[in-house]
Homo-oligomer: A and B are copies of this chain.
Amino acid sequence: MTEDSTAARVTPTLEMVAAVAGVSRSTVSRVVNASPRVTPDALKAVTAAIDQLGYVPNRAARSLASRRTFTIALVIPENTAKFFADPYFASVVQGVAMYLSGTDYTLTLIIASEAEPEKTRRYLQGGNVDGALILSHHRDDRSYVQLARSLPVVFGGRPMSQEGEENFIVDVDNVAASTVATRYLLDHGRRRLATIAGPQNMAAGIDRVEGWRAALAEAGLHSDLLEEGDFTPEGGAAAMERLLARGEPFDGVFIASAQMASGALGALRSHGLSVPADVAITSMDNDYFAKNATPPLTTIDQPAGVQGTKIAEVLVRLINGEEVEKLTLIPTELVERDSV
């Protein structure tokens, strides 16, 4: 099975398969590409030859001839460290990779160099990939929105562009999720609510504030107790400090990410405030931070793996010319723990 005494130590080509199977290269190609126009006999012979030789198509040749690359780019921001430090992105990447492993597509990670954005753009537009995935949680994705005009592109998370209408987006329903999380606070008797928001130049940041306000409004309430963080534990701690420094009492906080919540918890603790006795907390992200905080956080689970799978699926369908909805929303779920 591993030791072919007959075959030389050479990478088998399609031509060799054709010879062994006793058919033309065209037929082998048809089999490899699952064309229906092949007789069962020919199919069998070719399949056998492929197995015998251990043939694997050469991507480069295939790609050159077909003008498809079978590769999908996952564009990640230059600040790779921060990117991967976020379990959310890691899970999304995982979902993407898993989905793609079941297809002919290959995933390539490309780092968007902020120093030479042109380089990235050209590479992507230069026919080196069949499509691109943009995990969009950052500042200015306008350049990628432009990219979408010449290449199938799917955004994970709504991009902050002027002309947003025409993009393919896979996202969680941030407004609904944060409304639910805030309502939970209200339903548990908290009235003086605050929020630690995400960056207000990101869609996720903005939408989550919107949900918070919406739930408040439903209850006939209003609050100005908003401080902004950068989705990191440190940012969350600092935001909580600022909230406390205001001197206005609050008994419930919706925090836009579990990482920020974990930081905020520390700040609360250092001020001698206890959760949930003094302050109740709900947050987004059902990740390690949420599960292992003290106390464990009541939070919104946004299945990142599912989002990864979906975003990849949408892109593949887009590439294949299938019909795809512009917006795919991933449902979220509230997970009750001990922070309320």
Q: Which residues of A contact B (CB under 8 A)?
A: 11, 54, 56-61, 63-64, 69, 71, 76, 80-81, 83-85, 87, 90-91, 93-94, 97-98, 101, 106-111, 113, 122-123, 125-128, 233, 262, 288, 292, 294, 305
* Total identical chains: 2
Give the shortest distance, in Å, between A283 (CB) and chain B (any CB).
16
Give the shortest distance, in Å, between A260 (CB) and chain B (any CB).
13
The CA-CA distance from A270 to B81 in the complex, in Å, is 34
By Cβ-Cβ distance, the 4 closest A-B pairs, closest first, are: A56-B126, A84-B90, A60-B63, A101-B111
Contacts A81-B91, A108-B106, A288-B85 known; A128 to B58 CB distance under 8 Å?
yes
| B126 adjacent to A305 (CB under 8 Å) | no
Chain B residue at minimal CB-CB distance from A1: B118
Name the B residues within 8 Å of A305 (CB-CB): 81
Chain B residue at minimal CB-CB distance from A79: B94
| B81 adjacent to A94 (CB under 8 Å) | yes
Given contacts A11-B126, A84-B91, A85-B91, 4 further A-B contacts (CB under 8 A): A58-B127, A60-B61, A80-B98, A98-B111
| A101 adjacent to B113 (CB under 8 Å) | yes
Chain B residue at minimal CB-CB distance from A56: B126
Name the B residues within 8 Å of A90 (CB-CB): 84-85, 90
Name the B residues within 8 Å of A108 (CB-CB): 71, 106-109
| B58 adjacent to A61 (CB under 8 Å) | no
The CA-CA distance from A54 to B118 in the complex, in Å, is 10
Chain B residue at minimal CB-CB distance from A112: B101
| A292 adjacent to B262 (CB under 8 Å) | yes
| B122 adjacent to A56 (CB under 8 Å) | yes
Q: CB within 8 A of A97: which of B71, B107, B109?
A: B109
Chain B residue at minimal CB-CB distance from A120: B101
Name the B residues within 8 Å of A109 (CB-CB): 93, 97, 107-109
The CA-CA distance from A59 to B63 in the complex, in Å, is 9
Name the B residues within 8 Å of A81 (CB-CB): 91, 94, 305
The CA-CA distance from A76 to B100 in the complex, in Å, is 14
Give the shortest distance, in Å, between A49 (CB) and chain B (any CB).
15
Q: CB within 8 A of A60: which of B69, B98, B125?
A: B69
Q: CB within 8 A of A80: which of B76, B85, B97?
A: B97
Contacts A97-B80, A109-B107, A288-B85 known; A56 to B123 CB distance under 8 Å?
yes
